[in-house]
């Protein structure tokens, strides 16, 4: 079951976008119940209530571990297995901004803690790596599209959506700046 979940999520934690597949193929994930088993025992084995999330074992101050008893059926929550576009904005510094009440709840330290220092630093490194060569608007758009495509093993790059969103914003800013410069030259 865990393997199917990991493969369906292209090797990423459903909540954090962190890689949950080691180079040797082992998984660093556990099966997460979106709706807690204690409050929703009838959903315990429902496939639509299951996700693969970091870590396999041990404590962690972000993702599924702090969410443990939070009940998305009764409190605001953005389910990662549904449309999340429009709920979050990713910044170049690696932080996540909530754009809706549900997204703000998810980011909170007592729910998913998506701005935990470790996650912010990891996302920032990936984002800065993508922007270091100052891609053109077209290059940034191509890279954003490529990031959303799984590799030959079916895995996505860690934090791919965060990096893709920042690249798309970079492309928009680059295009706007080019239009302003072109307009200034005409006058």
pLDDT tens digits for range 143-177 = 999 999 999 999 999 999 999 999 999 999 999 98
- Give the integer Cα–Cα distance in Å for 3 and 98: 30
In whole angstroms, give the CA distance from residue 90 to residue 98. 9
Confidence (pLDDT) at 68: 86
Q: How does 53-64 read in b/e, with b if 16+ C-beta sit within 10 Å?
A: bbbeeeebebbb
Q: How far apart are CA 107 and CA 116, in angstroms?
A: 9
Mean pLDDT, residues 113-137: 97
pTM of the model: 0.92
Residue 81 has pLDDT above 70, yes or no: yes
Q: How far is CA 87 from the centre of its chain?
A: 11
Give the span between the Cα atoms of 10 and 186, in whole angstroms.
48
Query: Which position has the token pair 């984002």?
Result: 127
Which has the closest alpha carbon to 144: 155, 132, 135, 133?
135
Alpha-carbon span 77 to 4, nearest angstrom? 24
- For residue 119, the tally of other CB atoms under 10 A from its CB is 26
Asked if residue 187 has pLDDT above 70, the reply is: no
What mean pLDDT is predicted for residues 8-32? 94
Residue-wise over 130-154: b if at least 16 C-beta within 10 A, else e?
Answer: bbeeebebeebbebbeebeeeeeee
The string over 87-100, giving b where at least 16 C-beta atoms fall within 10 Å of a residue's C-beta and e elsewhere, is bbebbeebbbebee
């Amino acid at each position: 079951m865990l393997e199917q979940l990991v493969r369906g999520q292209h090797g990423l934690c459903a909540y954090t976008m962190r890689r949950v597949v080691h180079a040797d193929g082992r998984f660093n994930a556990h099966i997460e119940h979106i709706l807690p088993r204690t409050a929703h025992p009838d959903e315990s084995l429902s496939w639509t209530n299951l996700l693969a999330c970091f870590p396999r074992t041990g404590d962690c101050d972000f993702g599924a571990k702090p969410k443990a008893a939070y009940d998305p059926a009764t409190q605001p929550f953005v389910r990662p297995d549904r449309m999340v576009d429009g709920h979050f904005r990713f910044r170049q510094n690696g932080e996540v901004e909530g754009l809706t009440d549900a997204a703000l709840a998810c980011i909170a330290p007592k729910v998913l803690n998506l701005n935990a220092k470790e996650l912010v630093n990891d996302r920032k490194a990936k984002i800065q790596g993508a922007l270091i060569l100052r891609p053109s608007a077209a290059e940034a758009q191509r890279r954003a599209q490529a990031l959303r495509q799984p590799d030959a093993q079916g895995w996505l790059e860690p934090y791919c959506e965060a990096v893709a969103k920042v690249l798309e914003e970079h492309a928009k800013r680059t295009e706007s700046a080019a239009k302003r410069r072109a307009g200034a030259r005409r006058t």
